[in-house]
A and B are shown apart, each in its own frame.
Chain A
Amino acid sequence: MSPPVAPPGWSRWLVPPAALSVHLSIGQAYAWSVFKPPLESALGLSGTQSALPFQLGIVMLGLSAAFGGTLVERNGPRWAMTVALVCFSSGFLLSALGAALEQYWLIVFGYGFVGGIGLGIGYISPVSTLIKWFPDRPGMATGIAIMGFGGGALIASPWSAQMLESFGGDSSGIALAFLVHGLSYAVFMLLGVLLVRVPGSAPQSRGPARPAATGPQVSANQAVRTPQFWCLWIVLCMNVTAGIGILEKAAPMITDFFADTSTPVSVTAAAGFVALLSAANMAGRIGWSSTSDLIGRKNIYRVYLGAGALMYALIALFGDTSKPLFILCALVILSFYGGGFATIPAYLKDLFGTHQVGAIHGRLLTAWSTAGVLGPLIVNWIADRQEEAGRHGASLYGMSFVIMIGLLVVGFVANELVRPVHPRHHIPAPKEAAHVQPQQSESA
């Protein structure tokens, strides 16, 4: 399948909605928890069992992004979005069958395995194309798409809940909800498949005069052999771990912090706090990532990691004395968490060029998978130990915050160690010359 090349006059502002249609859909993964209680009561599952489809989905996201990235670069964004559409929607359809037949393994396989492949391929599908269309503002372009992944859960969470309320929480109601999800997402993602184009060489294409690969280009296989790749891997892993540290236990954390004060936080207010964190996460993705186009990638990560550590220190020292301070610091940390995700593709483009930036991004996402395990593990394990030791309130989290500050400092140092890639890793000059040719050869 050859990548779809933009005809003359094609607007680059058609590419972000194409990317958003995919990311807003696959972002549904973070709203899986809506299905957990009805599945548990309808199929007699434990909490751990009902989390399996989501967990397998996230594992498959990391694996398919890491191993499928090169295929995405070779076949282009339309192929990748088609694969994402087919896998993600089929995952729901298989889950619908599984729920109707009360065969839970089919839901795990459908949503987790098949749908998870759709998550991974869909996540990286527009990255390379957006960067090529917006060489002047790569941070903003990828920020829009990756903001969509955060936005997907905001849409799916109330939508799925309303659907389950209408259809009922028994196995046939869940099956119908899965079926409607699968069909709706297929239609919604189709816009991305139909609209996405790689920039052509036509002079009338609106947007950058010649969005060809410029500067040093590094292949995905070569990139993983550079210290820069692993420095960024540590940067992303530490930044995500620090964000998950708050996100994972946000509701109990704010309740515990102010339990012994004159203004305790109710369960409803804690849910509002979690929602506000989601907003900060989303705003950070587009806001900070766009800012990185102005102040540079290295500087923005200095802010994420350095100011992030400072925010954690403020919460640890004064968080239980002032609710506004606690909320403000948590919001800033979550905005940095989102910003870290959204800025990394542009950072990769700066270091390795646009040649295989999607594939390199896919491989770097293994840092996300690692952080997804590390962050909750640290916070939960320490909170449990502190509780066993008879502590309560804010002191349950003190040690976790110290560890988070340490991790952010490690990330800060890794960011400082990032230098331009040594020329021995660059693609040889004759091949670089070929990239000045129309873009289809670049993506081939």
Chain B
Amino acid sequence: MNRKEEYEALLLELQQTPAELEHTVERAWKRKKAAGRTRRAWLASCGSIAACFTAFVLLVNLSVPFARACGNVPVLRELAKAVAWSPSLSAAVENDYVQPIGQTQTENGVSATVEYVIVDRKSLHVFYTLEFDDELGDVYADYDYGEIHGWSGDAGSARLESGELNELGIDFVEQDVPDTLELTLRVYARGGDDGAAPAEEIWDGDALFEAPAREAPDYLAELSFRLEFDPCFTAQGQILPIDAEFTLDGQSFTLTEAELYPTHLRLSLHADPDNTAWLAGLDLYLENEHGERFEKSLNGISATGDPDGEGLGTFWLDSPFFSRGQQLTLHITRAKWREKEGPETRLDLAAGTAEYLPEGVRFLGAERYPEGWVVSFAAPYDPVNTMYSPFGSTFRNEAGTTGSISQFSHTFGVEDPATGERTEEDTLFTEEFPLPDLEGTVVYLEPDFDRISNFAPAVAVSIR
């Protein structure tokens, strides 16, 4: 065979394409949708996923009572899996701190059963299963909790597997968990298994400048439950007065109290009004005399603001409620600060320069679009939350006109502009967001922090 015959044979060979090639667009579409969901839920960090698997493996393998409980009661094994992401909830299950519910509702071939709740004075976790025909495709549920106030938690559109135990959580910041809750699961399906893009979803390109579009789904079933909580559980929780003063990098604080619940622990800090900086973040953990550690919450709320200022005042951690320890010490390893008189971050988009960036953050560049600008930054991972947003959600131009940033995108590593290769994936992430309708080429952003202090050894404060 000469070269020309070889060429023709090779062309023929290359004409044979694999059948999977036909669905490349559908695969890309599904992946983009999944990435969008991940992006919107970036607060649920990758670290929490790793912690989830680690915690479950460790508990099942190292904790005799836990393993025994899981082995003897098949349903409890499922519950143990469902709470494996949370050391506090795992400890609750291990200690039988679970209220069985066992209510089932069925409509249009979709059946939901609320199996259990784990509840205390400030937090509620509902565990339920959904049974449906696999031919429905991807099945989701929206949640409605009726008339409740002052809560933060899961609002729905989670993708569900038939027969799998799912968890939804609600935290109450000021109010207590109510005696009863009207829970409605609104179930809908998308896509089927034909690989087609779902008709309900509005195609919006990369949607950098538009808010994510979503039409109201056509619900297959609305399944309502009235959940009554056992007062023995909803009464659980205690306040430990502390009043311990300490300083961090020259700023003064008082640890006023700890609220100890079975599902979590809250620490309240009071900042000295004479401090020159607001507290913008803390890395901290609790440790008892047995060396047991209770880390910062990775899912749900991790901190809330100080009502007397712009900094953070309350920090949420895993709970030592079920631990045997008598002593408890707070260890602070890192703090993020925002100077009270600190300047805003100034970007000159035309020149590609930046001033007053948060510590460790790098301005990668800006691109102009008909609808505005898109700016990107490289930032180091946070030890606990992995990815975060270094800026607030508003911007202003030099004339003082303000705008809102409706979405942030995060990706691992930094793209090399010359080769397109992603580098530094282990240490940095890229944040990208649009500045819609920005007039001019200079923009001011509000940094969430200016600088970071690391404490080695950790600053220790005794709690009890």
Do A and B make up one complex?
no
